[in-house]
Amino acid sequence: MFILNPQSGIPIYRQVVDQVRRMVASGQLVSGSELPSVRELAVQHAVNPMTISKAYALLENEGLLIRQRGKPMQVAAISKEDSKQQKQDLLTPAIENLLLVAKQLDLDIDELLLLIKKHVKNKRES
C-alpha cells in the first residue's frame, strides 16, 4: 500500500501522510477504507511504530482518518468537492516550486507551458 524510502531525505512519517492524502484525494482510498495497523506497517517497512503512529495521528487531527478503539484506522467521509480541493491543495506546492525554478532559469510562462505540454505529449506516446 505504501512505498517508503528512508534514503529520500523526507521523513518517513511525512511520506506516509503525503501518500494517504494523495490516495484519498484520488479515490484510491474511499470513506471507510481500513489502513494497516501501526504495528503491521512498522514491521512491514522496518520502521519505529511511533513513526507510523505520528503519521496516523496527524491525519486524524486533519479529519482524514477516524480512530475507533479496537478497530483499524479508517478513512473519514469526504465529499467530492473536498476531494477536488484536496487534489488542488496537494499540487499547489509542486506548482509553486516549478514556478520558482522557471523564474530562476529566466523562463517566461509561455515557455514553461510549452515544456509542460511537450512532456505530457511524450508521456502519452510512451
Per-residue pLDDT of the chain (126 residues; tens, 9 = 90+): 899 999 999 999 999 999 999 999 888 999 999 999 999 999 999 999 999 999 999 999 998 999 988 889 999 987 666 767 878 887 888 899 999 999 999 999 999 999 999 999 988 887
Output the pLDDT for position 104: 94
Cα Rg, the chain, nearest whole Å: 18
For residue 53, what are the contacts with CB-CB under 8 A and spacing of at least 6?
38
Output the pLDDT for position 79: 64
Output the pLDDT for position 75: 94
CA-based nearest residue to 78, from 35, 38, 37, 33: 33
For residue 78 the three cell numbers come to 469526504
Cβ(4)–Cβ(10) under 8 Å? no
Output the pLDDT for position 80: 67
Output the pLDDT for position 91: 85
Can you give the residue ranges of every domain in the chain?
A: 6-75, 80-125
Residues in the chain: 126
Q: Does domain 6-75 have CATH number 3.30.465.10?
A: no
CA separation (Å) from 30 to 2, 40, 59, 113?
16, 21, 14, 33
